[in-house]
Each structure stands twice: as C-alpha cells, then as structure tokens.
Structure 1
C-alpha cells in the first residue's frame, strides 16, 4: 500500500463513520499529517504513516456524548473493527478501534467539548498524496489551523435532555 492508497482508505473510513451517525452531524476537515515510520531504534524504514482527521462542528451536549460514542462504536463493530479501548470519562470520553487491515481509528471529546475523529494508517510506501477539497493547509483548503470550537446546533445532539430508552 502506498501513501495515496492509505489516505484514500482513511477518508473512506471517516466518511462511513460520519454517515453512520443519525441524526447527521455537521463536520469539517482537520489538518492531516504524515509521520515517518521507524524501527524500535528510531531508524527510518522508508515508509510513512498517514493521519487524516475530521472534527464535528455540531455541539454535542454532555448528556448526548455517550450516545454518540455508542453509535460510532456499534458502527465500527459492525464493520469488523476491533475495539481496542474505551475511556468512559464523563467530560472527555474516547473510543479507539483497529481495522482488519491495520488502520487505527479514534473518536474523542476534547477539553472544550469539541469532538474529533482520527484515522491513522499502517506504514505505507512513499508516494504523492492528494487531499479532499477543503482540507486545511492543502490546495483548495483554508490556510492556518481550523477553529475546533463546536458552533452548529442540533435539536437532538445539542439537547441537554437525557436520551430516552
């Protein structure tokens, strides 16, 4: 697998995950990056891990965070992903998983209530990379870092009422 294929696979995982969230949330691209892979002795291997990120711009209330993480976790399990860890912290919960082809996926809540989604590829052969239009810092996207503060209201996800069973 080369870096372009890894980036495309990461975007597919992100798209499918966000499409599984009902009612839908609004989201934006976050800054991607690539990290050189190395041996346990910090020697380069000539391959690179590709990281793609999104952030949810919909305000997810504290009362609905568990529901969001549950929807995503069930979607990942249905896709055959292995859940590797769950942090049930009330303020900043996270869920992490791994795909059968070695990608790691994470969904978490940050300190300001911002919700992020990240996919990291296994080490991939060096190649050129393309990015979806709107990716920060890339052609067709905004320059600079995005504002991760949730700003979009949702009658469901922003509600402070507990979810009814």
Structure 2
C-alpha cells in the first residue's frame, strides 16, 4: 500500500515541476542534471538535519523526467527530483510540529511561495527555494513522511548518485518507505511530552 501512496506524491511533484514548462520561449537551463542532483541532495540533507530531535531517514528513488515542447519534442533538458523517506514513526499529534520545523528551516534558507495543506488525511507543505528548486514535505495516508527537492528542466548530462541510492549501483533495489523506528518524542501521542 505504501508504494502507491509514495508514487502519488512523486507524480504530483513531477506534474508541478513539468507544468512550469508551458509553450513559452525556453530559458537557458540554470544548471545541468549532475549539478541539480547534487544541489537537491544538499537541500534535503539540510532539511533532515534541521529536524529536532533527529529522525532516521533513507534516500528515496531519484526521479528524472525529460522535458519536452508543447509538441512533445525533446528540449535537451530533464526535470530532476531527489527525495528522503523518514523512517521514524511520526504520530498524528506530532506531524504539525514536523511540518513547522521544516517550514521555519526553509524560510531561513530563503524559500518563498509557501503553501500548506492541513487535511488530516494528507498533510503537506510546499515552497520554492531561492534558486528555483521546488520543495515538498508530505505525510501520506498511512503516516509515511517524505521530502522532495527538484529542479525543472536541467540541462541533460551524465549523473552520479550518492552511495546507498535505491536503484543505483551499491544501493538497494527497493526504497524503504514504511516508518518503523520509534522516537520518544516524534512517536508520542502526547502533545505535551517534550
């Protein structure tokens, strides 16, 4: 069940990023795929480090979607998305705190255009980083939490991945999706507990 939930969130991110293409005159890519992937990893590492108490996380499967013109012609650019899956169980009572910590961190880093959905069935926060990356932290319907950072239409290039990236050499064949690590703080159902 967690696979489709995760996939839905990823599809939303790719659709949001791809929607920026339109049929307007294409802009010169700000960076290539390798640079975009590295920058997304830095953003996500910083985001995970900003969560206190710390959470256990795993890399998600990287996504790359070729950009095209309105006539489905290739543009020589690709949308690059990297992700993190939080493996610490975050109770329903703590999810708002998690989103608020991430929102504060992104804002400190210069992100803007924030949008928040506080529906209990699917919490998320989205923003745009100062360098144009789309940022997203989402809570799935089964309580799985994942963060994405992506850039629309980076210049095509060879790409390397950090060790342990799912689906890449040295990484697992499947990404870890299901939260299973207990935290005295994040897993607690008592909102008064510090």
Name which of 152, 159, 171 aligns with 1:129: 159
Secondary structure at the counterpart of residue 8 of structure 1: helix
Name which of 126, 136, 148 aligns with 1:118: 148
Select the structure that is richer in helix: 2
Q: Report runs of 4+ in structure 1 exceeding 3 Å deviation.
A: none
User: Does the aligned pair in 2 maintain the 1:63–1:163 contact within 8 Å?
Assistant: no
TM-score where L is the length of structure 2: 0.81
Aligned to 1:63: 93
**Structure 2 gaps, min length 5:** 1-30
Alpha-carbon distance in 2 for matches of 1:106, 1:40: 26
Deviates more, 1:36-45 or 1:51-60: 36-45
Aligned to 1:79: 109
Aligned to 1:105: 135
Deviates more, 1:10-19 or 1:44-53: 44-53
Q: Post-superposition shift, 1:116?
A: 0.4
Cα distance change, pair 37–146 in 1 and its aligned pair in 2 (3 A)? same
Alpha-carbon distance in 1 for matches of 2:149, 2:107: 16
Alpha-carbon distance in 2 for matches of 1:163, 1:125: 48
Aligned to 2:179: 150
Q: Post-superposition shift, 1:91?
A: 3.0
Alpha-carbon distance in 1 for matches of 2:87, 2:157: 31
Alpha-carbon distance in 1 for matches of 2:79, 2:192: 38
User: Does the aligned pair in 1 maintain the 2:85–2:176 contact within 8 Å?
Assistant: no
Name which of 170, 184, 193 aligns with 1:140: 170
Q: Post-superposition shift, 1:163?
A: 4.2
Alpha-carbon distance in 2 for matches of 1:121, 1:104: 6
Q: Post-superposition shift, 1:5?
A: 0.3
Q: Post-superposition shift, 1:112?
A: 1.1
Alpha-carbon distance in 2 for matches of 1:109, 1:94: 6
Cα distance change, pair 163–103 in 1 and its aligned pair in 2 (3 A)? farther
